[in-house]
Structure 1
């Protein structure tokens, strides 16, 4: 029986133009804690702090308990999180640029009030204009919209590639490190939730950058949370900090629950990281040594999580190393965007890549940098973790009295026993690996005779 002419034509068209099955790109939600120690969660075993929402997220995620940020200071750390590049690569290595030479050593208020400092601060932001951020990749390749809220140092949110946001970045109107964006979480979640609603209504893939000023100081938690912790420690400042951690957890829960309510949770990749660590002093709301800004675990270690329901098998990985430089390549690979070969980070969803990694690196810089374009001028320490061994190498032009330190993190997670003198060959080998990663050579160091 002859095939009808229209069926034959239809058959030819189907072969010439095969039917494609399209699926919506996954949404991306990035949760960033601000000043929180790596152990200050319920799922990490803290004896008092309750974080039920993050505990649930950890159970549903590929969770790396041995996660790290290269630098333990918020501004360079945040730029690394959104670019996938080390601070010495993206150039933003400290929180504040150098003042005019005659103001060096003067009080911060004197420096910031000097009209000559404003153009210097604005010039330092220009580093971000040379970077391709996660928001840029998602928008330019797949048409994502994006929303910024919380901590953001790099001027107007649009300079980070975000299509929407809360931070205006005007240094003359308090725009140092987030301005209006710092209201998120503390003063409600409406801007983020409204953005998600709008994206769902428009059937648009979205990227949420949620980096609230939590549990960062000021430690002023709701009374109901502070009352919960006051009897758990003799130190009121510590109780305040613990309550702040739970407050942050509550806001994350509100955001994650909203994804469920909008029926987009299963098609959303959720990532979690902390910008840097924090150990609260007992007598006041301030960070203790060996935490924020330090080269030690209390400053650079953080849990890292990736949740993608139905696509990523939940697992609590207590062995393998992860870094914040991995977040961008992980997302790009997941959504189908080619990962630049120049990236040092890996796709954390690639089991072979995770298994093959045996080392991560980091770098610690000064809070107020010494040079606008030479990162080595402000370098204090470089560090490496290979397996359970961690080597810390001081940069002598800046840290004249700094010690080379070697720790076995499996036996000594709080880095109390320096084993460098007992293992000279290991120190030598690890130092060579650091130099192969980044051998420092700076104009400032040369000037100082190093």
Structure 2
């Protein structure tokens, strides 16, 4: 358990600064929770939270899988800045199926990048990372005061104790990891209730290995009754996550911190399509179709958000960092690639229309081609870039220079490529995408793979 942190700041000064709780669930899909319409997985606590929050219907992860998305969220910087484009090697899949040599991948966030924890530390916040870090060996090297269970590991060895996690002492045999991380998070909040704190709670769940509590798994087996769109163990993991979010929110209430605490709930990327269908979205984790990058996002802040609202403005996980900077009145020169959502939180105005861009000069192999709905059966992701602006979304694939244009208002499932129907829109988006790559010095895979075997 974490220990107390002391400060000489007066209560009056401290309580002008809101506490920040950022809950980041691993691989939780846009379609996997009740408040987004899931008919099977039970999330009563999140559903209640959604009725007290801003619900962002068009929220996006900065990348389609774990490490790059987390690096973007925690730094507010796009993938070309930190060079983390995927997990592990960028040369995923069979070498004979890759036409290009992908851009080399970085696996550790360089210490030169300013993180949310480091920025808030300058405002006298104490911070803890409780759960999956995945960007290096220890988040304490990136400004966090406490690290519980975080390392370079991308998933747990087991969701049941013994955990075999060097940064988490084992609990009683059979203790469930999601429960334990919540216990640790609650203890941290209790010990810091007199001071402004930043709790980063990146749960390992609902990432594989799929392991749920037996009684809840059995409940979902009966409920699903063989429906291949859903998974009983996954449903049990979602429900346990929801129960623990409920415990966390209840503690915030009990400590009298609700009005002065910002709670942000989101996911690092889309759901794993091979496990849980993201319908009506196409694809899932690892894909840059909507199912791989669209995520649930809730923000609760009673001091500013007085009534429940749904927000249709497209936003990104990149926006979390600049929003928090704006909230704590940070006037330093921390430059991010997102925008502050504070005007939206305050109900003043929407943000101006802008383009959201993803750059992925790498390969990511397929797991279940039928459920992933990719362009081909070999890869969820082939090297390319994507831009969304307004209702239009343009995909560019570098191997052949292919372009796909979708009208998301009419075709959320990205089934009909309307490039030939709207060439002027496609060309305008393509020019903007090219300019974005120049502005961000985005690396491009230009060398042909000598081992490629043309089919």
TM-score normalized by structure 1?
0.78
For residue 244 of structure 2, what is the aligned residue in structure 1? 251
Distance change in 2, residues 1:160/1:56 (3 Å):
farther
Question: Which of residues 32, 47, 50 is equivalent to 1:55?
Answer: 47
Aligned mates of 1:55, 1:75 — CA distance in 2:
28
For residue 238 of structure 1, what is the aligned residue in structure 2? 231
> Structure 1: which 5+ runs fail to align?
1-19, 107-119, 370-377
How far 1:283 moved relative to its partner?
11
For residue 219 of structure 1, what is the aligned residue in structure 2? 210
How far 1:78 moved relative to its partner?
0.6
Aligned mates of 1:49, 1:283 — CA distance in 2:
10
For residue 88 of structure 1, what is the aligned residue in structure 2? 80
Runs of 4+ in structure 1 over 6 Å off = 440-444
For residue 298 of structure 2, what is the aligned residue in structure 1? 305
For residue 39 of structure 1, what is the aligned residue in structure 2? 31
Aligned mates of 1:181, 1:210 — CA distance in 2:
15
What aligned pairs does 1:238-317 form with structure 2 within 5 A after superposition?
A: 238-281=231-274, 290-317=283-310
How far 1:325 moved relative to its partner?
0.7
How far 1:448 moved relative to its partner?
4.7
How far 1:368 moved relative to its partner?
7.8
Find the residue that maps to 2:38 and give its secondary structure. coil
Does 2:386 match 1:383?
yes
For residue 117 of structure 2, what is the aligned residue in structure 1? 135
How far 1:281 moved relative to its partner?
2.6
Find the residue that maps to 1:246 and give its secondary structure. helix
Farther off after superposition, 216-225 or 378-387: 378-387
Aligned mates of 1:365, 1:179 — CA distance in 2:
32
Distance change in 2, residues 1:444/1:307 (3 Å):
closer
How far 1:379 moved relative to its partner?
7.9
| Contact in 2 for aligned 1:70/1:77 (Cα 8 Å) | yes
Find the residue that maps to 1:96 and give its secondary structure. coil
| Contact in 1 for aligned 2:286/2:364 (Cα 8 Å) | no
Structure 1 or 2: larger helix share?
A: 1
| Contact in 2 for aligned 1:157/1:167 (Cα 8 Å) | no
TM-score normalized by structure 2?
0.77
Aligned mates of 1:78, 1:169 — CA distance in 2:
13
> Structure 2: which 5+ runs fail to align?
1-10, 97-103, 158-163, 169-175, 366-380, 450-455
Superposed CA deviations along residues 305-364 of structure 1, whole A, max 9, x for unmatched, are 221112223443342111111001111111221264732311112146633134322223
Question: Which of residues 350, 354, 374 is equivalent to 1:354?
Answer: 350
For residue 188 of structure 2, what is the aligned residue in structure 1? 195
| Contact in 1 for aligned 2:131/2:181 (Cα 8 Å) | no
| Contact in 1 for aligned 2:131/2:150 (Cα 8 Å) | no
Does 2:145 match 1:152?
no
Superposed CA deviations along residues 237-280 of structure 1, whole A, max 9, x for unmatched, are 72222222112111111111111111112111111221011144
Find the residue that maps to 1:231 and give its secondary structure. helix
Work out the number of aligned pairs and report it.
389
